[in-house]
Amino acid sequence: MKMHMTLAASTALVLLAGCEKAEAPAPGDTATKTEISAETVPPVDATTAPPVDPEADPATAPHRFASWAGKWTGVEGMYVTITPTEPEHYKLDMQSDLDTKGTYEGHDSEHGIQFERGGKPFTLYRTNGDDIGLKYLTGKTECLKVQDGEGYCRD
């Protein structure tokens, strides 16, 4: 998260510097200034534009973890489908074990999406398959974990 904040702050400074008003040379000023014309600046297109960070996109800003939207799969038919709803809130459709299937309301928290299941609070947070502790998910890199032995990954 610190990296995103640093990148956002750096980008803002660069943009603000580019918006600085050019001053007209003072009368009698003989100093030369480098001028940039439209011909010297390459056009921005899909191949030269910087990548868009979904967490920094104003359209998804109210959802801190909007990039997690969609279906994540676990073992033996387990899954979680994350759908952003109102700002900072999510709908979690989840099959968390063979006997427990439900829909839960989640919300942004410091480390992930917090929700309540069976009267207990849980947080769905980013990790890797090795950390979840399930052989089937070992080696996977894009995963979400609820607790030891319960996690979901994308291939």
In this structure, the dihedral spanned by the alpha carbons of residues 122, 78, 94 and 111, taken in order and rounded to 10 degrees, is 30
Q: Is residue 75 part of a domain?
A: yes
The yes-or-no verdict on residue 84 having pLDDT over 50 is yes
* pLDDT number for residue 80: 97
Number of domains in the chain: 1
Q: Is residue 18 part of a domain?
A: no
The model's pTM is: 0.60
pLDDT tens column, 115-143: 999 999 999 999 999 999 999 999 999 99
Domain encompassing residue 91: 66-153
Rg (CA), the chain: 23
Question: In the numeric block, which tokens belong to residue 12?
Answer: 């803002």
